[in-house]
C-alpha cells in the first residue's frame, strides 16, 4: 500500500503534468489555427479583387459581347446598372434586364460609397465591387462558410491530438504511481537529509529508477514537441501549398506539344512547393505567341502572381481569337501583362518576362523583354558543321514596378525551319553543383548545342540537355526554379 506521502507526491505530479498540457498545447493549437485562417482569408481576398477587376473590364462591353470568362473562386458574380438593372448574373441568367427592388448589402454599399472599388466583409460573406466608367457595378461575393468548411475539420484534428496526448500522459502518470511508487518513495526518503543541510549518498537503485523516470518524461516531452512540429509543418504547408501547387501545375501547358505547324518542348522544376516561374503560349491564324516569366521570390505570394499572369494571357488569347487581324505585338502584350501584375502584386513583387511572337506569314520572330534574360536562337553554323547560338537581347523594365511602364520597342529576327528559339529563367544558368560553382551561360550554351546536335529530334535533344544539367548539379539542392521552353517550326509538307 502506498503511504500518504508517496500518494501526495504522485498526485501533485499528475496535476502539474495535466495543467502543463492544457496550458501549453491547446493555446498553441488555436494560435496556429488563427494564423492559418488569416493567411487563407487574405489569399481569398486578393484573388476575389482580381476576379472582380477582370469582370469590371468585361462588363464594359455588355450587352454587345456576353461574358464568357471562367472564374476560379466559388463565388456569385453579378453586374448591375446604377438604376439596379441586372446586366449579368453568374447564377441566375433569367434575371438579366430586370430591376431588383431592394439591393443586397454589398450592392447598397457600392451605391452609397464614393470609392471606385472596395472589399467588404459581412457576417457570412466576403464581397468586392468595382464601378467602371460606364456606371456599371461588378460584384463578387464568396460565402465564408464554403471557404472555411475544412477549418472545422482542421480544428477538430488539433483538439483530438491534444486530447490523445493529454489522456496518454494521464495514463502514463497513473502507471508510474503503480509501478514506480517504491523507488520514488525511497528516493524522497533518502533525500530528506538535504533539508537539514546534509548531503547523503543516494542508493544506486533509487538513483537509477529516478533516471528512468527522467528519461520517460523526456521521451514524452520529445513526443509532444514532435506532434507540435508536425502541426507547424502542416500549417506552413497549408499556407503555402494548399491548392496552389496543383493549380499552378495545371495551368502550365503540356511539356510536349506538336502540331502540324510547330513543336514546343519544355521543362519545369520548382525549388519550392509553389514556385515563381511560369510559361505559356497561344496560337492564332497568323501568330504563335510564346512567353516565359519569373516572379521575384517563391511561395504562396509568388504562385498567386503566376496565376494572375496565366489569367492575363487567357484573356489575351480570347482577344486575339476574336480579332484575328490584330497584330500580336510583344510590346502591347507586355503593357497588358503589366496592368494585371500591378493589380495583383500591389507593389510588393515584380515579374520579369520575355515575349516572342512568331509570324507564320513573314517567317520572322518578333520579341520584347521586361527585364528578363535574353533568349537564344540556335541555328546551323555558317560552316555547315554543328550549331551556333545567338543571344536575342531586349531591355525593358520589370512588370509590376509602377503605372508608368514603358514597354521596349518590338524587334525581330528571321526564323527558319532549322532554327530553335530557346527561352529560360535564371534558375537554369545559376544552378550550383557540390563545389558551389554555377553552371553559367557559356557552359549552358555549350551543353545545349552538343545535346541538340547529337539528337534525332528536339524532344530527345532537350532530354539529353537536362540529363547533362542534372549531372553537373550532382547532389546540390535546387535553390531557384528551373524552367525553359524551346520552339521550332515544322517543315512544310
Question: How does pLDDT run across 345-364, given as a tens digit for each residue?
Answer: 777 788 999 999 999 999 99
Residue 169 · residue 21 · CB < 8 Å:
yes
Q: What angle do CA 268, 358, 375 make, to 5 degrees?
A: 50
| Residue 354 sits in the same domain as residue 460 | yes
328 and 458 share one domain: yes
Same domain, 133 and 271: no
Within-domain flag for 21? no
Tell me, what's the pLDDT at 224?
59
Most confident stretch, 150-154, 290-294, 476-480: 290-294
Q: Is the pLDDT assigned to residue 493 strictly greater than 70?
A: no
Of the two residues 22 and 484, the one the predictor is more confident about is 484
**Is the same domain home to 412 and 282?**
yes
Q: What is the average pLDDT score of the chain? A: 80
Summarize pLDDT for 224-236 with one digit per residue, the tens: 566 667 777 767 6
Split at pLDDT 50, 70, 90, the class of 213 is: very low
99 half-sphere exposure, CB direction, 13 A CA radius: 4
Q: Is 53 part of a structural domain of the chain?
A: yes
Do 306 and 428 lie in a common domain?
A: yes
**Domain end: 91, 116, 147, which one?**
147
- More confident of the two residues 275 and 136: 136
Q: Report the pLDDT value the prediction gives residue 214, as an integer from 0 to 100.
A: 45
Specify the higher pLDDT residue, 15 or 95. Answer: 95
Instruction: Provide the residue range defining the domain that includes 107.
Output: 38-147
Question: Please, which residues have CB within 8 angstroms of residue 468's CB and are 6 or more apart in sequence?
Answer: 447, 450, 451
pLDDT of residue 20: 65
Look up residue 386 and give its three cell numbers: 554543328
Query: What whole-number distance in Å separates Cα of residue 368 and Cα of residue 406?
Result: 12
* pLDDT over threshold 70, residue 317: yes
Tell me, what's the pLDDT at 442? 95
Number of residues that this document lists for the chain: 493
Q: What per-residue confidence (pLDDT) applies to 8?
A: 47
Determine contact, residues 355/367, Cβ cutoff 8 Å. Answer: yes
User: Which pLDDT value is given to residue 390?
Assistant: 95
Q: 149 pLDDT exceeds 90?
A: no
At residue 388, the pLDDT reads 95
Q: How many domains does the chain have?
A: 2
Strand order in the sheet with 125-131: 86-89, 76-81, 136-143, 125-131, 117-121
Distance in angstroms (rounded) separating the CA atoms of residues 405 and 85: 37
For residue 5, is pLDDT > 70?
Answer: no
Q: What percent of the chain has pLDDT over 70?
A: 72
369 lies in some domain: yes
CA distance 408 to 332: 10
Question: Which residues, other chains included, contact 435 with Cβ-Cβ below 8 Å and sequence gap of 6+?
Answer: none
276 with 143, same domain?
A: no
pLDDT recorded at residue 217: 46
Give the C-alpha separation, 336 to 330, whole Å.
Answer: 10
Q: Are residues 460 and 329 in the same domain?
A: yes
What does the alpha-carbon distance between residue 228 and residue 21 come to, in Å, rounded to a whole number? Answer: 12
Tell me which of 93, 121, 147 is where a domain ends.
147
| CB within 8 Å of 55: residues ≥ 6 apart | 67, 69, 71, 77, 79, 130, 138, 140
Last residue of a domain, one of 147, 177, 204: 147
Neighbours of 77 (CB within 10 A): 22
The enclosing domain of 439 has a CATH number of 3.60.40.10
Contact 296, 349 (CB under 8 A): yes
Domain CATH code at residue 63: 3.30.450.20
280 forms beta bridges with 291
d(CA 448, CA 453): 8
Residues 417 and 274 in one domain: yes
Position 206 in a domain: no
| In a shared domain, residues 143 and 248 | no
Do residues 249 and 387 share a domain? Answer: yes
- What pLDDT sits at residue 466? 95
Assigned domain for 75 exists: yes
Higher pLDDT, 410 or 219: 410
- Whether the pLDDT of residue 46 is over 80: the answer is yes
Q: Is residue 95 part of a domain?
A: yes
Q: Is residue 126 pLDDT above 90, yes or no?
A: no
Strand bridging mode 256-258 / 262-269: antiparallel
Q: Is the pLDDT of residue 19 over 80?
A: no
- Domain-located, residue 65: yes
End-to-end CA distance of the chain: 98
Q: Are residues 131 and 249 in the same domain?
A: no
Residue 219: inside a domain = no
Listed ranges 117-131, 164-178, 295-309, 381-395; the one with the highest mean pLDDT:
381-395
Amino acid at each position: 500500500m502506498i503511504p500518504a506521502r508517496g500518494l501526495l507526491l504522485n498526485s501533485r505530479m499528475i496535476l502539474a503534468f495535466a495543467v502543463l498540457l492544457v496550458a501549453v498545447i491547446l493555446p498553441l493549437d488555436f494560435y496556429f489555427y488563427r494564423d492559418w485562417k488569416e493567411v487563407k482569408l487574405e489569399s481569398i481576398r486578393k484573388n476575389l479583387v482580381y476576379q472582380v477587376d477582370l469582370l469590371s473590364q468585361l462588363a464594359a462591353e455588355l450587352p454587345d459581347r456576353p461574358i464568357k470568362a471562367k472564374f476560379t473562386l466559388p463565388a456569385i458574380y453579378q453586374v448591375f446598372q446604377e438604376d439596379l438593372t441586372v446586366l449579368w448574373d453568374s447564377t441566375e441568367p433569367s434575371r438579366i434586364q430586370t430591376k431588383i427592388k431592394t439591393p443586397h448589402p454589398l450592392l447598397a454599399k457600392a451605391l452609397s460609397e464614393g470609392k471606385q472599388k472596395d472589399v467588404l466583409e459581412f457576417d457570412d460573406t466576403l464581397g468586392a465591387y468595382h464601378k467602371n466608367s460606364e456606371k456599371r457595378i461588378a460584384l463578387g461575393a464568396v460565402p465564408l462558410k464554403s471557404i472555411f468548411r475544412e477549418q472545422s475539420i482542421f480544428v477538430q484534428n488539433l483538439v483530438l491530438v491534444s486530447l490523445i496526448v493529454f489522456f496518454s500522459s494521464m495514463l502514463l502518470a497513473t502507471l508510474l504511481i503503480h509501478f514506480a511508487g517504491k523507488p520514488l518513495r525511497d528516493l524522497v526518503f533518502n533525500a530528506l537529509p538535504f533539508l537539514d543541510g546534509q548531503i547523503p549518498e543516494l542508493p544506486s537503485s533509487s538513483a537509477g529508477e529516478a533516471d528512468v523516470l527522467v528519461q520517460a518524461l523526456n521521451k514524452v516531452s520529445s513526443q509532444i514537441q514532435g506532434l507540435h512540429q508536425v502541426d507547424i509543418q502542416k500549417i506552413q504547408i497549408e499556407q503555402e501549398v494548399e491548392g496552389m501547387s496543383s493549380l499552378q501545375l495545371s495551368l502550365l501547358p503540356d511539356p510536349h506539344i506538336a502540331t502540324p505547324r510547330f513543336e514546343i518542348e519544355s521543362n519545369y522544376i520548382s525549388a519550392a512547393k509553389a514556385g515563381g516561374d511560369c510559361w505559356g503560349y497561344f496560337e492564332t491564324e497568323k501568330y504563335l505567341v510564346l512567353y516565359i516569366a519569373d516572379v521575384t521570390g517563391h511561395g504562396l505570394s509568388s504562385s498567386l502572381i503566376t496565376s494572375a499572369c496565366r489569367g492575363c494571357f487567357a484573356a489575351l488569347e480570347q482577344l486575339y481569337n476574336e480579332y484575328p487581324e490584330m497584330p500580336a505585338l510583344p510590346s502591347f502584350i507586355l503593357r497588358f501583362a503589366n496592368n494585371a501584375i500591378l493589380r495583383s502584386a500591389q507593389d510588393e513583387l515584380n515579374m520579369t518576362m520575355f515575349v516572342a511572337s512568331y509570324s507564320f506569314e513573314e517567317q520572322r520572330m518578333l520579341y520584347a523583354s521586361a527585364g528578363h534574360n535574353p533568349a537564344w536562337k540556335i541555328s546551323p553554323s555558317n560552316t555547315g558543321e554543328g550549331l551556333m547560338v545567338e543571344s536575342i537581347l531586349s531591355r525593358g523594365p520589370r512588370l509590376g514596378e509602377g503605372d508608368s511602364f514603358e514597354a521596349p520597342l518590338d524587334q525581330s529576327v528571321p526564323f527558319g525551319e532549322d532554327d530553335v528559339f530557346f527561352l529560360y529563367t535564371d534558375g537554369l544558368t545559376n544552378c550550383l553543383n557540390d563545389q558551389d560553382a554555377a553552371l553559367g551561360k557559356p557552359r549552358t550554351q555549350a551543353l545545349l548545342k552538343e545535346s541538340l546536335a547529337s539528337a534525332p529530334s528536339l524532344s530527345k535533344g532537350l532530354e539529353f540537355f537536362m540529363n547533362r544539367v542534372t549531372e553537373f548539379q550532382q547532389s546540390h539542392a535546387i535553390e531557384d526554379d528551373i524552367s525553359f521552353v524551346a520552339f521550332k517550326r515544322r517543315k512544310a509538307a
